[in-house]
Amino acid sequence: DVQLVESGGDSVEAGGSLRLSCVVSGYFSKRCMAWFRQAPGKERQGVAAIVTGAHNKYYAGSANGRFTISQDNAKNTVYLQMNSLKPEDTGIYYCAAADDGAWCSDWADYTYWGQGTQVTVS
């Protein structure tokens, strides 16, 4: 079974920072890992993705320059460092993974999901 367990969500003031963590387990590719955000009343959208091992990274426009996705293979963990947070960053953040052979930059290819962690920026 694929298991993705997020943590690190919190309530912060605008301009603050948070680091989200996603512990990954299970027998699957783990080549494409990503973070998505679902804002209140909106559809879930991709925020950042990483090609693990190759370190290629992709960011949505709203995250570029403020968020950084990274990995620690020894800990089977993917991180999302979020700086200069804005109220529009508020939402539930989900860790996601795609099957082997997926295009890591294609948000639609992500089919495995964690339970989400709430981020509130005021």
**pLDDT value, residue 41:** 94
CB count in 10 Å sphere of residue 111: 11
- The identity of residue 66, as a single letter, is R
**pLDDT value, residue 22:** 97
Whole-angstrom distance, CA of residue 58 vs CA of residue 50: 6
Whole-angstrom distance, CA of residue 91 vs CA of residue 94: 10
Give the bridge partners for 49, in sequence order. 34, 58
- Chain mean pLDDT for the chain: 93
**pLDDT value, residue 55:** 74
Kindly tell me the burial class for residue 75, based on how many C-beta atoms sit within 10 Å of its own C-beta (0-12, 13-18, 19 or more): exposed
**pLDDT value, residue 100:** 82
- Of residues 108, 110, 85, the one with CA closest to residue 33: 110
Instruction: Give the model confidence (pLDDT) of 30-56 as tens digits.
Output: 789 999 999 999 999 999 999 987 779
**pLDDT value, residue 71:** 92
Mean pLDDT of 13-24: 97
Alpha-carbon torsion angle 98, 53, 24, 120, nearest 10: -80
**% of the chain beyond a pLDDT of 70:** 100
